[in-house]
Structures are given as structure tokens and as C-alpha cells.
Chains A and B, each alone.
Chain A
């Protein structure tokens, strides 16, 4: 027995050793990219870009480093956004902050309050004085507004995305829908999902074998993730509502008890109740789409780069459907993704290097390259109008939906209590689809709970 266990252990060691050796030879170091063997000023960049996104980013960083005489960017992948946020906070406590990192707006507000980051307006003003460009004029307005706090730009938009619809063109054709006509309104989305579901239910009834019966029965019209706050907030925008605003008495109030929010919640609830929609955990809906079990899914535009290699059917990417208000389709989406902060490490050389890298990365052509490679939105208006993006859109029309929605983008409230409120919303959305109660009741409770949190919010710039 002992010899057997020792044998197993040695075998395991050899296998692990061989795998590590192979990984080293093929990919190089997994986490930290870009070794600085020169006298250049090192700029440490903490981010959460993994997988295909990280590959595009590291390729661009390598190019920046190769063309640089003064600075060297060290790219450090911290895993997910949550881990990154925790590590950034810990590093600030230990006075070991990186030079730049990706962060959400709520954290940026914390950093501003404690004077931990550099105000980018100061750097832009210095650029203008030295004959450089006023970069703010070229930033897409909603992204500029999203990163402006008390009238000043404190973070730089970096990897911003929008939600889109993915639809299976082959399945559309099979069930009798026009393969190049995705749903334009939420009513159409519900109708198309019903057609798909009913088609497969009929096939299931007439199936000859039990396996076939089960296979057809598992096909749904629409799929999304459970407790999907992003989806709910998008719907509120589409129904013409608002999330949080200041009332006449300058008090923050939420709009969750109003009709657009009730409609937003009941739309998905109805589809789940009817059996045409299916909610999955985390990325289950994407897997179902790839497996051809769901005809339409709602997901981030960046899901495209994660899914496209595995999709073996014709698929399309479309803007989120809207709602007809006053005879016009009202579209509305909420931005997702993070921004860049430059930390105030009191080393002018490092701050200058960090700013140089941010400007280079988001410049017209590099921004266009980043956008095409990852599907993230470009930061500059000139990138959107660039030949690079226009050619790419012509070559792959599935890229269009992201750019098309730029005109009706909104962003989530940037309150420091927003993460907690978001979690509350997720609970109510989950409860509404699990218990199928009256949407108005959930929305009233949502409003009540959120407003009681908002009463204690003292920060501005929501």
C-alpha cells in the first residue's frame, strides 16, 4: 500500500512538472507580463483582463514597451475585478499601490476622498500648455461624464462594454423566423421566444424516442442569467424609467416603484412563467446558446470573443430591443466595465509614464485596435470614425451592435453604497422569478429598502 501511494505521488509530481514545463515553453509567465531589464521607469499596471482580452492587452503593452525609451509597463493580472479591488485597497494601506489599475467608479470616489489618485484634468491642462491636444474633446460624451467627479476627470474610461442580444440564425430559420431580423422591441422578443419554444415543444410531442423528446423539450426561446441586475436596469431604461435621481428637495430617491420598473420586472417574469425563457446560473445561458439549446440570449458584447470559437452555427449580434413609446422605439442600455486610475505615488516620473501609457493605449488607432480585438467600446470619437473600425464592422457585422448602442448609453449610479444596493436588487429579482409573486409588490419593497439606504448616502455625483 505504502509503495503504491509513493508511486502515485511520484507519478503525479512528474505529470505536474511536465505540464508546468510545457506551459512555460508555450506561454511564458502566466501572470506578469513584460520584464524590465533596462533603466526605463517602470509603470506597474494592475488589471483583471484574462483570457482573450488579456492576450490583446499584453500584445499591445509589449508593443508600447518596444517603442518606448523612457517607460516600461509591467502588466500584472490580478484575476477578477473583486480580487483586484481588494488588492488595490490592501496595497494602499501598505503604501505599496501600483502606478495604474482598473477600477469601478464607486472605488474611484473613495480614492478621490482620500487623495489617493491623480486628477487627470491637471495632466490634460499641462499637456495643453505644452502644445498637446485637449483629449477630453475627443472622449465619447457618456464615457467622459461617467468618469467626471465634481466637474473633474479623475479616471479614464478603459474597458467599457454594453449588453447585446445574441441570436441563433439557423434556429430562427428552422422555426420559421427571418434569420436576419432580430427582435427590435421587447414585445417581439417575447413573441420570437414563444415561437421558438412552441416549435420545439411540438417536435418533442411528436418525437419517436425518449431521448429526442427530452432534447427538444430542453430548447428555449430566450436565456439570461438569474438575478440579473444589469438586465433589469437595462429594461427600466427601455421602458423610459430612471434608477436614482434627486427630487425637488435634493434628496436621493429611486424609481423602482414606478411603472417602468414594474414593467421591467414583469416582462422577464412573464417570459419565465410562460416557459419561453430560461434563467441560468452565471454563464449557463451562454453555454446553452453555444449548445444550440437557446435561440436568443442577452449578454455583454465581450461575450462574443469568449463564445465565438465554440459556436458552430450562424449567429447574429443585435442591439437590445426597446419599447415603443410615443410611436418610437425607446432604446436604452447601461454601461458596464471599468476605468483606469493613476495613483498618487508622489513620483512625477511614474505619474508621467502612467499618463503617457493611458494616452497611447486609448489613442485613435490603438483604441480602435483594442475595441476590435476585444469588442470593448472605444474611448475616443475619432476611434469610432476611424477606417480601422469601419473596415472591421464591414468585415464582421456582428461587431456593429456595440457601436450602434453608443447613442443611448447610461451608467449605473456611482454611489459608494451602490454595491450593497445592487445586491439588494439581485435578491428581489431572484425572489420574483422564484416565487412568481406580484411584480408591483417586489418593486414597492425594492423602493422602500433602497430609499432607506439612500437616506444615509452623503456622497454626491450619483
Chain B
């Protein structure tokens, strides 16, 4: 006779509050938003069903393509730059130097500071007339640059600030990854006469790859969702719309022009783009990760 497994319904009862919150505030809004993306809705009146019109219109909207292109530029530059810088700094901070806690704190402070406050400060730093950055550059004889007003510089300026802001978060994760690498591997390498570069290339880099993969995936997702700094630092999407990114365009459509259906259609296209990128990371890049 097979043993009958007794189901403990109590466990489901304990799960109920969390499941209820997830369903109410995560699952239902997602499906509701998906439904609204097939409607024309200005929030006050009743939504009017328009089928796939919002999606069709999206693919004829040059500003949408511009915003996608700007977002891709933002992601392609900011993600590798952030990874390289944070990995380098994490390796430096992994050494037993005096006052290491202070350095780690300094790098982490921007992460816990509100993006709005940071953006206001960086607006001053980038100011063409009395900004700190132009002041420093003037010592080297450089003419002032209108960082946030010049279409060629506005996006790089936003990227630089964003990389600075997110650096501390990545450093902490890299530090955790670095401390998981067994010390004896470095000892063995040193005994074999390996240089610092060889140690990095053959020990640190491969054994840090799960951390790098995690940061790469999360940063890519985050960079496609960039919004606050663009909203705060370059109103209207920057000079000649050079910083118009997808989420900001979506926000303007929804909350300034009150085209909620269209904005939600955009949100779902963005979701598909992020999903495709993450899937590519998972299927292709993860093969190159050394988990042990």
C-alpha cells in the first residue's frame, strides 16, 4: 500500500498574506495595464477599445524609436563602464589598507542618497557658467562646455552621473564576490611565479564571473528603466531630445499628455525588450560563467 502524504493546509494559510499582496499589487496591475494598452484612455472618461492601434501607432512614432535608440546608447555605455570601474575599485578596496571602512563608506554614500537630491547637485556641477566641472577644466585652458544643453554632451553627462551614483552598489557586490575567492589559489599562483595580471586573468576574472554576470544582468535591466536623472536634469528630454529615454517618453505620454493606453503599450514593448535582453544573457552569456 502506498503511503498517503498528508497535506498541511496550514502552510498555505501562512502564505496567504504574501500571496494576497503579490496578487493585488503586482499581478493584477500587470494584467490590468496590459488590458488598458488596447484602449484609448485619458483617465477621466471611460476607456475606448482600439485593438492593436496603440501598438501600430507606436511603430510609426519617430520619437519612440529615438527614445529606444537613446536608451540603448545609455545601456551600452553605462553598463560596461560601471562594471569596469566598480570591479577595479572593488579590487583596490579588497586590500588590507588603513581606513578601508572609510573608503567603502564614501563610495556607498551616493547609493543611499536620493537621486533627486543628487540630480540637483549635479545640475550645479554641470552648469555652463558657474559649474564646478567647467571651473576645473578652465584650469587646463578648456573652454566651458554646456554639458546638459549641448546635444552631443547631454547624454554622456547623464551617463557619467548615473555611473557615479551606482558605483557603490556594484562595488559592495564585487567585494562580496572577491572575498569568496579562496586565498590559497592566489598563494599557489604566487608560488608558481604568476604576475598580478596573470592572477587576475586566470583566478579573479573567472571566479568573479557569477558576480559579474549578476551585476551585468541587473544593470542592463536598470539601465533600460532609467528615468529620474533624465527627468530631473534634462526637462523635455534634453537638447534636441538627446536624452529622451523610453521611460521618460512613456511618463510624458501618460502624465503630461494623458494618453494612458499609448503609454502602457510602450511599457509592454519595453518589457519585451528587457525580457529579450535578459533571455539572451541567460542563454548565451551564462554559458561563460564559472560557478565553481
Residues on A lying within 8 angstroms of B by beta carbon are 1, 5, 82, 86, 89-90, 92-93, 110-111, 113-114, 116, 218, 226-227, 281-282, 284, 419-420, 423, 426-427, 430-431, 434
Contact = CB atoms under 8 A, between A and B. Distances in A.
Given A5-B105, A86-B255, A426 B44 contact: no
A434 B151 CA distance: 9
A234 B110 CA distance: 44
B101 interface: yes
Contacts of B149: 226, 281
B169 interface: no
A300 B117 CA distance: 28
Interface of B: 42-45, 101-102, 105, 129, 148-149, 151, 235-236, 239-241, 252, 255-258
B89 to A, nearest CB: 19
A94 to B, nearest CB: 11
Contacts of B42: 110
B56 to A, nearest CB: 14
A116 B42 CA distance: 14
A1 B236 contact: no
- Nearest 4 CB-CB pairings of A with B: A114-B44, A1-B101, A114-B45, A89-B43
Contact of A434 (B43, B101, B105, B240): B240
B151 A82 contact: no
B60 to A, nearest CB: 11
Nearest to A435: B240
A77 to B, nearest CB: 19
A281 B257 CA distance: 23
B240 A431 contact: yes
Contact of B236 (A426, A431, A434): A426
27 contacts: A1-B101, A1-B102, A1-B105, A82-B256, A86-B255, A89-B43, A89-B44, A89-B258, A92-B43, A93-B43, A93-B44, A110-B42, A110-B258, A111-B44, A113-B45, A114-B45, A218-B129, A281-B149, A284-B129, A419-B256, A420-B257, A423-B236, A427-B240, A427-B241, A430-B240, A431-B240, A434-B151
A282 B240 CA distance: 16
B44 A92 contact: yes
Contacts of B102: 1
Contacts of B256: 82, 419
Nearest to A90: B43
A165 to B, nearest CB: 23
Contacts of B105: 1, 5
A111 B101 CA distance: 57
Contacts of B129: 218, 284
Nearest to B45: A114
Contacts of B44: 89, 92-93, 110-111, 114, 116
A92 B45 CA distance: 10
A248 to B, nearest CB: 30
A328 B47 CA distance: 52
Given A90-B43, A434-B239, 11 more contacts: A1-B102, A92-B44, A116-B44, A281-B149, A419-B256, A419-B257, A423-B236, A423-B252, A426-B236, A430-B239, A431-B240
Contacts of A82: 256
Contacts of A90: 43
B165 to A, nearest CB: 21
Contacts of B252: 423
A113 B258 CA distance: 15
Contacts of A114: 44-45
Contacts of B43: 89-90, 92-93
B201 to A, nearest CB: 34
A163 to B, nearest CB: 20
Nearest to A111: B44
A369 B86 CA distance: 60
Contacts of B239: 430, 434
Contacts of A226: 149
A415 to B, nearest CB: 12
Contacts of A426: 236
* Residue in B44, B45, B101, B256 with the greatest tally of chain A CB atoms within 10 Å: B44
Nearest to A423: B236
Nearest to B259: A420
A178 to B, nearest CB: 30
A111 B45 CA distance: 9
Contacts of B240: 427, 430-431, 434
B99 to A, nearest CB: 8
Given A113-B45, A116-B44, A227 B258 contact: no
A449 to B, nearest CB: 10
A86 B101 CA distance: 44
B191 to A, nearest CB: 35
A412 to B, nearest CB: 16
A113 B257 CA distance: 16
Nearest to B235: A282
Contacts of A282: 235
A113 B48 CA distance: 15
A12 to B, nearest CB: 13
A427 B236 CA distance: 9
A284 B131 CA distance: 13
Contacts of A420: 257
Nearest to A288: B129
Contacts of B148: 281
Contacts of B257: 419-420
Nearest to B148: A281
A281 B105 CA distance: 35
Contacts of A110: 42, 44-45, 258
A411 to B, nearest CB: 20
Contacts of A218: 129
Contacts of A431: 240
B213 to A, nearest CB: 32
A344 to B, nearest CB: 12
B15 to A, nearest CB: 31
A69 B24 CA distance: 46
Given A89-B44, A420-B257, A227 B101 contact: no
A199 B119 CA distance: 38
Contacts of A86: 255
A226 B235 CA distance: 12
